[in-house]
Amino acid sequence: MEFPLMNLTDIMKTANTSPYPIELPRYNRENTQIGIVHIGPGAFHRAHQAVYTENLMNQFGGNWAICGVSLRSATAQDILSKQDNLYTVSILDKDIRYQIVGAIKEILIASEQRDLVLQRMSAETTKLITLTITEKGYCLAADGSLDFNHDDIKHDIANASSPVSAIGFIVESLKIRKQDNIPAFNVLSCDNVSGNGDKLRRAVLDYAGKLDPQLQLWIEKHVAFPNSMVDSITPKTEAYTVESVSKAIGCQDNWPIQREAFTQWVISNDWQGERPEWEKVGVIFTQDVEGFEKAKLKLLNCLHSTLAYLGSLAGYETVFDVTSDVNFKQFITKLAQQEIIGSFTPPTELNIEKYSNDIIQRFLNPAIRHLLAQIACDGSQKIQIRLLPIIRDNLEQGRSTKMLCFALACWFEFICKTVKNKEELSDPMASTFYQTTGLLSEDIATVVKSFLSIDAINAHDLLLNSQISEQIEASLTLIRQTPSTQLGAVIAKL
C-alpha cells in the first residue's frame, strides 16, 4: 500500500486514525531555533538524546532544535531531508507506541558542507555540541590522550580551518567564537566511553595546545565537558521496521528508529552558561556519573559483548534468542553476580542486584530483535572499555576472573574464525587482525600470545599475568574442543 512520504500535515491526519498511540510534535517547529549541533546523528542519537529534547520542547518549549552533522556519510541527509527530517521512534515493549520526532531540523554532511557546519557551530544561538561518534571517533591513544598519529588528527593539525574530525570541528568553531567574542558552547559526549567528557576535554585541549596555546587556555576556562551515561537498547533499523512503522502511522517513513521502552540519561552537573533543562523530562543530573557509568558499562555492555561472541559461536542470531537459552542466561547471571558486581562501587541510590536482574530482563524483551552481529562490531575498542578493566580490578582485588577470561576467549575465537573464513570484520583493527599470522595458529598459546601482544589492544599486562593467560588458554581450548551446539552445556559447568 502506498503512503504519503512523511510530512507534518499528513501525519497530523493519519495519526488520528491509527490504531496505535502516536505522539506528535506539540511545539511550533518552524519558529524553533537551532540550539544544539549534534555530531553523529545515528540511530542511537535519534532514539535517545533527540527524544529527550523533543519531550522537553513538547512540554516546555525552548530553542533546542538540533542540527545533525554526519562527518562523512550522506545517508541520513539523503533519506531524512526528503521527509522534512521527521522520523518515527517505535517504542517496543508489551504495548507498541510511536513518537514522531521533529527535534532534528536539518542534517549536514561535514565533508561536503564544511563551511555551513562551522557556521552552525559558531552561531551565537548554538549553545551546545553533543556527540555520538562511537569509541573510535575520539582518536585516542592507549593512555587516553589524543593520538596525534591518527590520520584524521594529522590531517586537521595540517589543515585546521578545514577539519575532518569531530575534535577538529570543535576547536575550529571555538576559535571562531573566541575571535568574534561569542560565548563558548558546552560539549556533551553521549558515547559508551568511561569518563567520556573528561576524555574528550583532554583530547580537545591536547589538539588546541598543538595549534594555539592561547586558544587552549580560553577553552580550558570557558568550555564545559560534562560526563554522561546513556542507555537505551536501540537495534538497527531493518526493512521490516520501515514497513511495519509506515503501515502503523499511515505515512512512509524511510528511516524509523526502534528501541526498548527503557531509557536513561545521567549527566554530571558541571556546565557553563545555558543548557537544556532535561531534568524536567527525566534526565538525572548528578555529581556521581562515574558510578552509573561503571554500572552500565560493566553490566549491560559487558554482558552484551559476552553474549555477542559466545552467542555467535553457538549459532544464535539475537540477544533475545541466546538469553532465552537457560544455560546462557545462567552464565551471564553468574558472571554478573560473581565476577562483575563487587568489582566496582555503584552509586548509593542504585540497587545493583535489581539493576543487574533488570538488565537481563531487558535482554528478554521479545519485541526487540537485537542482532548479536551489531553488538559484535568494533570489539577491539569495546573490549578495552567493557571487559579488560573488570579483569584488572578483579586481579587487584583477588577476585575470580575465570568467566571473564572465558568471555575474552570467545572474542578471540570470533575474530580467529572470521579471519580464517576470510569474512568481513567490522572493526577499526580489522587489517591488523588479518596481518597477525599468529591468529591462524593451531597452537592455543600462540593465538593467545598473538592477541595480547597487539599494541593497540593494550593488554600487555595481562600477557605477563600467568593466571590470566592460562585461564584464556584453557577457555579457548574448551571452546575449540566443543561443538557449537554443546557450548551451552559446557558453560553451565563453568
Residues forming contacts to ligand CS2 in the complex (CB under 6 A) are 192, 231-233, 300-301, 304, 374-375, 382
Residues paired with residue 108 on neighbouring β-strands, in sequence order: 69
Q: Minimum distance from CB of 231 to ligand CS2 (Å)?
A: 4
CB-nearer residue toward ligand CS2: 204 or 233: 233
163 HSE (CA, 13 A, CB side): 22
CB-nearer residue toward ligand CS2: 293 or 393: 293
Q: Minimum distance from CB of 159 to ligand CS2 (Å)?
A: 32
Q: Are 339 and 298 in contact (CB under 8 A)?
A: no
CB-nearer residue toward ligand CS2: 178 or 304: 304
- Residue 210 phi/psi, 5-degree rounding, is -70, -30
CB-nearer residue toward ligand CS2: 170 or 300: 300
Q: Minimum distance from CB of 264 to ligand CS2 (Å)?
A: 8
Q: Whole-angstrom Cα distance, residue 304 to residue 298? A: 10
**185: number of Cβ within 10 Å:** 28
Q: Minimum distance from CB of 451 to ligand CS2 (Å)?
A: 20
Q: Whole-angstrom Cα distance, residue 54 to residue 38? A: 14
CB-nearer residue toward ligand CS2: 7 or 374: 374
Q: Minimum distance from CB of 414 to ligand CS2 (Å)?
A: 14
**Residues sharing a CB contact under 8 Å with residue 19, sequence separation 6 or more, in sequence order:** 248
Order of strands across the sheet with 22-23?
A: 22-23, 97-101, 87-92, 257-260
Q: Which of 121, 133, 193 is nearest to 166 (CA)?
A: 133
CB-nearer residue toward ligand CS2: 231 or 413: 231
Q: Minimum distance from CB of 392 to ligand CS2 (Å)?
A: 20
Q: Minimum distance from CB of 426 to ligand CS2 (Å)?
A: 11
CB-nearer residue toward ligand CS2: 185 or 265: 265
Q: Whole-angstrom Cα distance, residue 350 to residue 183? A: 37
Task: Report the residue closest to ligand CS2, judged by CB.
Answer: 304
Q: Whole-angstrom Cα distance, residue 172 to residue 178? A: 10
Q: Are 47 and 232 in contact (CB under 8 A)?
A: yes
